[in-house]
Each structure stands twice: as C-alpha cells, then as structure tokens.
Amino acid sequence: MKEYIIAVCAAAVIAAFCDILIPRGWQKYIGILTGAILMSVLISPVLNFRGIDISQLSFDDAQYTEFDINSEISDKFCQNAAVDIENRVMDEFSADISAKVYADFDGNEFNGIRRIELSCAYNPAIESRLMEVYGCGEIIFETG
C-alpha cells in the first residue's frame, strides 16, 4: 500500500510540474496525457487484484501496415509533373497531349526527371522546351 501511495503522489507531482512548465498552448494536450497516466496509476491496484499486470501489456498482436512513403512521394511527384507538362504544352503549343513522367529518386534524394513519354507526334519545339524546363534525360514521343 505504501508503494501505491508513493506512485500516486509521484505521478501527481510530475503532472503538476509539467502543468507549470509547459506553454499555455500545449496544456490541454499535456493535461490529457498526465490524466491518462494518473488514471493508469490509480487503476493499477484494481488490475493487480484481478491478476492483470499493466506493465506486461503489449501490442504484439496488433497488425501494422507497411507504408513506403518514398514511393508515395515519387508517384505523386510524377503525377503532378505529368499534369504540369500537359498544361504547359497546351498553353504554349496548343497541343492536347498526355504525359507520363519517370523520376529518379535515390532513397530520400531526388535526382531529376529521367524520362518523359508524350502521346503526340514528334515536335522539336516541344522537345526543346521540355528539355529546357525539366532537364530530363530522355523525351519519347509516341503516336497511336
């Protein structure tokens, strides 16, 4: 019982200390966090009485989803660049095309646009302008 009272007092002192030091904008978040900690300290004897050890709870059974943020960024960049190319060609050359962009990402580093594929007949003015703006290594014109 003595350990329980010490734990409750320590949690309350830490909560009060955090409340004093934390900036006013964060106080509601810290209040929620310290409230959850105080609740877990206050409930722990009830859980121990029922045979549940709160320190042994784990989330190993939870399912985690793998998410590759780099591929998402690369895909979104390529989509946005393709839309930009289509709009640029329409504005500057009055040509309705569709574009597909292949970017060169190395981990977290962007190394430039590797290739642009355009669905239109070959036009040297379009090729020159896109090379100038995007600095890509290769522009492929496809008809059909």
Average pLDDT value for the chain? 82
User: Partners of 139 in the beta sheet?
Assistant: 116
pLDDT per residue as tens digits for the range 35-65: 888 888 888 777 666 666 656 655 555 555 5
What pLDDT does 31 receive?
83
Query: Quick one: tokens of 131?
Result: 């090379």
The candidate with the shortest Cα–Cα distance to 127, out of 92, 76, 81, is 92
- Residue range 119-126: average pLDDT? 90
The candidate with the shortest Cα–Cα distance to 124, out of 95, 100, 102, 144, is 95
Lowest mean pLDDT: which of 47-61, 62-76, 115-129? Answer: 47-61
Q: Is the pLDDT of residue 4 over 90?
A: no
- Residue range 122-142: average pLDDT? 89
pLDDT per residue as tens digits for the range 78-108: 999 999 999 999 999 998 999 999 988 877 7
- Residue range 128-144: average pLDDT? 86
Q: Is the pLDDT of residue 13 over 60?
A: yes
Q: Which domains does the chain have, with CATH numbers?
A: 2-56 (no CATH), 69-141 (3.30.300)
Question: Residue 114 in contact with residue 135, Cβ under 8 Å?
Answer: no
CA distance 56 to 48: 11
Helix (H, G, I), strand (E, B) or coil at 118: strand
Percent share of the chain, pLDDT over 70: 84
- Residue range 67-78: average pLDDT? 80
Q: Is the pLDDT of residue 127 over 70?
A: yes
What pLDDT does 29 receive?
83
